[in-house]
Amino acid sequence: MNRVGFGIDLHPLVSGRPLVLGGVTLDSDLGLTGHSDADVLTHAIGEALLGALALGDLGRHFPDTDPRYRGISSLVLLRHVMELVVARGARLVNVDATVLAQAPRLSPRLGEMEKRLADVLGVPFEMVSVKAKSPEGLGLLGRREGIAAMAVVSVEVP
Ligand code: MG
C-alpha cells in the first residue's frame, strides 16, 4: 500500500545562532532558535514521515521538555524517526520539500542538503528533493522573523 505524509514547521530567526537547514550550516547573520538545532527542513520531513504512518508528531516523540534533545542535531531525530518507519516494515520512496526563506540565498546549497538528508534517510540521492522559495518580502517570513519548511513523503507499507 502507498501512503503519503505531510509536514510543516516554522522557527524564529535570532542573532547569535547558527542557521542549519537539512543538516547544512549556512552563512547567515541570523539563525533559527528552538530546543534542538531548530532545523525546520529536517523537522518538516520528520513530521511528514510520522504523518505517513499516523504516528503523531515530532513533539510527541521528542518532547522539548526533555533535556536529552537540547541543542541536538535534528539529523539524529530524523534517524530515530526513520528507525520507526523501518521497524514497521515501511519503505520510504521519495521526499519533496520546500524551504520558505527570505535570506540567505539557498539555491547553491540545496544539493548538499539533499545529499545529507538522503544519507540519513537511507534512500538514493535522487529520491530527495529540496527546493527554496522566497516569500518576496511578505509577512513574517519576508521580514526575516522566521523560516518555514514544508515536506511531503511517499511511503510503501506492507
Ligand atoms: Mg521544529
Q: How do residues 37-65 score in pLDDT, each as one tens digit?
A: 999 999 999 999 999 999 999 989 988 88
Rounded distance from Cα 32 to ligand 1 centre (Å): 10
Distance 34 CA to ligand 1 centre (A): 7
Mean pLDDT value across the chain: 96
Residues in the chain where the model's pLDDT stays below 70 = none
Counting every residue written for the chain, the total comes to: 158
CA separation, residue 116 to residues 55, 110, 145, 146 (Å): 24, 10, 26, 23
Specify the pairing of strand 19-21 against strand 30-32: unpaired
CATH number for position 39: 3.30.1330.50
Cell 539533499 -> residue: 114
Q: At what angle do helices 110-121 and 40-52 cross, to 10 degrees?
A: 40
Q: Structurally, how many domains does the chain consist of?
A: 1
Bridge partners, residue 9, by sequence: 149
By residue range, what is the domain housing residue 25?
A: 2-156
Query: Which pLDDT score is estimated for 20?
Result: 98
Ligand 1 centre to CA of 90 (Å) is 24
Cα-to-centroid distance, 58 and ligand 1 (Å): 8
Cα dihedral 147/96/115/8 (nearest 10)? 30
Q: Give the pLDDT score at 98.
A: 98
Residue with cell 550550516: 25
Query: 36 CA distance to ligand 1 centroid (A)?
Result: 8
Cell representation of residue 37? 538545532
AA identity, residue 76: V
